[in-house]
Structure 1
Amino acid sequence: MLIKNFDLFELQNRIQKIENLGDPLKKLQELIDFENYREELESMNRNGTEKGGCPPYDAVLMFKIIVLQKLYNLSITKRSIK
């Protein structure tokens, strides 16, 4: 397996190219203040971790994922998980 050597500023240059093209995720973040929904989202959370288990994912993060799925017509199916 061939490993590519990255130069010192390659990551920074790639990020700059994406920003110059107009990052749709950044625009979405500017348009929607997701934190306004935190209280309501967390009130709906019934995680059942009182008896143990992993803590739940952040409610706002999960909401962002759902918005992106709907916006880009994405879905998670059993077939895509395999």
Structure 2
Amino acid sequence: MNPMSLFSLSEHLERLSKDGDPLAVLSATVDFEYFRDWLVEGLGYGDGSRGRRPPFDPVSMFKVLTLQAQHNLSDAKMEFMIRGRLSWMRFLGFELGGVTPAENKIRHFRNRMTETAT
């Protein structure tokens, strides 16, 4: 087995984009940042001053729910798919080896979105 080069991950992701990654097309088509102010205000995101672990980025979590609905996945399966697909991690803004949302965080975010919509 050949050792990976320093640039092998970025080269791999570049090839995915070149091959027509649909999530890259979605990112280019939809300005998800447009929803940031509404998400922060509507969900009551704080500034992290209470000393707890900061919540996941609300735009990233909104994207999680978008992918989950698009693929009809359970919370547990969504957690797995986020960690298992490089293109999904890139689309969602998560780093390889970094912290990703567990199924409980996904469920909690969806519940907060549902509660604030009423």
Is TM-score (shorter-chain normalized) higher than 0.5? yes
Cα offsets for 1:17-49 (capped at 9, x unmatched): 312320111111011101111111001223576
Partner of 2:54: 55
Q: For the aligned residues, what is the CA RMSD?
A: 2.8
Q: Which runs of 5+ in 1 are unaligned?
A: none
Count of matched residue positions in the alignment of Structure 1 and Structure 2: 77
CA deviation map 1:37-81 (0-9, x unaligned): 11110012235766431121111111111111111222213xx76
Counterpart in the other structure of 2:28: 30
The 2-side partners of 1:6 and 1:62 are apart by 31
- Structure 1 residue matching 2:35: 3-state secondary structure: helix
TM norm structure 1? 0.68
TM-score norm. by structure 2 comes to 0.51
SS in 1 for 2:52: coil
SS at match of 1:52: coil
Whether 2:98 is the aligned partner of 1:64: answer no
Q: Find the structure with the greater CA-based Rg.
A: 1
Distance of 1:53 and 1:41 partners within structure 2: 20
Any gaps of 5 or more consecutive residues in structure 2?
A: 81-102, 104-118
What is the percent sequence identity of the aligned residues? 35
